């Protein structure tokens, strides 16, 4: 048996914010940290689902406190309100786990007009992290963990068309966002080190984990072929609790270091216990990471510029 939640050190006195904590990997991460005594802030888009998840965790009588904050990563105004709420309520933060995500929907766009997966999985988390980092400075063993997936290995950044306006393939867009996640995590750690910060940034992926992402993607696209393939592959999927272990390891294990990337130790990184894993080649390329950082910063600045008109879009999200 490998590293498990039993190995998580005591989290009493620590404050952890988890995006997308109402189900799947996020809920299991919240469950584990709550049981170990952390104050867990569940940052979720749906207040109803978040409260139901909170009640489920409260019934387990964990050692920590549970709080809710509204967060829609596809709306940068919501990201700003979430950050403001954390600044006002707590004034500090020990763990930030960038877990929320969407997977392979038809082409949708965010409130600011960016392709939904690019906006939610990458840009929204980058904006949130940037806003919350000041609360993490000076905290002992403060960590940012960004959740990627195996899709990073087939992903590529469409430098000239990251929003898929010229050509949209939902799986390519998903791979792009997941590659961006790990590139962001590694570049953030490099920047923090150069600044002399004690905050560390890590990445993790769950392998094949049974969450609501797969059924939601199939429902949104109405693909019978994908539904059939999912039923065939279902025996290969591990539980959400197992899938959450790599991000929990990255967030809490004393041995985990900034700039590292964790995933399951089984064949192909599909399932198993947490282990340090290689990242996609593009994520090892410092020049590409820096290029992504510059592009993302420019897009976020564009989106938040005063009196900026909304981008021309196909369909707006939520």
Q: Please say if the pLDDT value at position 160 is more than 80.
A: yes
Strand 274-276 with 261-264, pairing = antiparallel
The per-residue pLDDT for 304 is 85
- Smallest Cα–Cα separation from 9: which of 198, 249, 199? 249
Strand partners, 167: none
Q: What is the DSSP string of 8-35?
A: PPP-TT-EEEEETTTSHHHHHHHHHHHH
Q: What sign results for the dihedral spanned by CA atoms 149, 153, 156, 157?
A: positive
Numbers of helices and strands, H then E, in the chain: 12, 8
Q: Please say if the pLDDT value at position 216 is more than 60.
A: no
Q: Cβ(139)–Cβ(92) under 8 Å?
A: yes
pLDDT in tens, 236-261: 779 999 999 999 999 999 999 999 99
Picking from 154-168, 217-231, 304-318, which range would have the lowest pLDDT averaged per residue? Answer: 304-318
pLDDT in tens, 109-139: 999 999 999 999 999 999 999 999 999 999 9
Is pTM beyond 0.75 here? yes
> Could you tell me what percent of the chain has a pLDDT over 90?
84
The per-residue pLDDT for 312 is 42
- The whole-angstrom separation of Cα 304 and Cα 64 is 36
Phi-psi region of 307 (alpha: psi -120 to 50; beta: other; left: phi over 0): left
The per-residue pLDDT for 314 is 39
- The whole-angstrom separation of Cα 25 and Cα 211 is 7
Three-state DSSP class for residue 104: coil
174 is catalytic: yes
- The whole-angstrom separation of Cα 127 and Cα 63 is 31
Q: Cβ(123)–Cβ(100) under 8 Å?
A: no
Domains of the chain in start order, with CATH, are 13-301 (3.40.50.720)
Q: What is the DSSP string of 143-204?
A: EEEEE--GGGGT----TT-TT-SS---HHHHHHHHHHHHHHHHHHHHHHHHHTT---EEEEE
Selecting among 114, 153, 174, 262, the annotated active-site residue is 174
């Amino acid at each position: 048996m490998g590293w498990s939640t039993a190995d998580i050190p005591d989290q009493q006195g620590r404050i952890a914010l988890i995006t997308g904590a109402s189900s799947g990997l996020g809920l299991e991460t919240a469950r584990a940290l709550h049981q170990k005594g952390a104050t867990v802030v569940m940052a979720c888009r749906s207040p109803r689902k978040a409260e139901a998840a909170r009640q489920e965790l409260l019934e387990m009588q964990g050692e920590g406190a549970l709080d809710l904050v509204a967060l829609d990563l596809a709306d940068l105004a919501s990201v700003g309100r979430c950050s403001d709420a954390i600044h006002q309520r707590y004034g500090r933060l020990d763990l930030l786990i960038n877990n929320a995500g969407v997977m392979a929907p038809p082409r949708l766009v965010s409130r600011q007009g960016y392709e939904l997966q690019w906006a939610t999985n990458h840009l929204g988390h980058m904006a949130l992290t940037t806003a919350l980092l000041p609360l993490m400075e000076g905290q002992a063993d403060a960590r940012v963990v960004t959740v990627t997936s195996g899709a990073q290995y087939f992903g590529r950044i469409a430098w000239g068309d990251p929003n898929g306006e010229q050509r949209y393939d939902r799986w390519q867009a998903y791979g792009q966002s997941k590659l961006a996640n790990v590139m962001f995590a590694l570049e953030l750690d490099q920047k923090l080190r150069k600044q002399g910060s004690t905050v560390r940034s890590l990445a993790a992926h769950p392998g094949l984990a049974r969450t609501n992402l797969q059924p939601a993607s199939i429902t949104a696209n109405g693909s019978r072929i994908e539904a059939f393939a999912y039923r065939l592959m279902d025996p290969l999927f591990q539980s959400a609790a197992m899938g959450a272990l790599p991000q929990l390891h990255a967030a809490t294990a004393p041995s985990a270091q900034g700039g590292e990337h964790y995933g399951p130790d089984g064949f192909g990184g599909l399932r198993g216990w947490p282990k340090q894993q290689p990242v996609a080649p593009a994520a090892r390329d410092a020049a590409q990471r820096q290029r992504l950082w510059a592009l993302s910063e420019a897009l976020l600045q564009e989106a938040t510029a005063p009196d900026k008109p909304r981008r021309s879009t196909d369909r707006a999200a939520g």
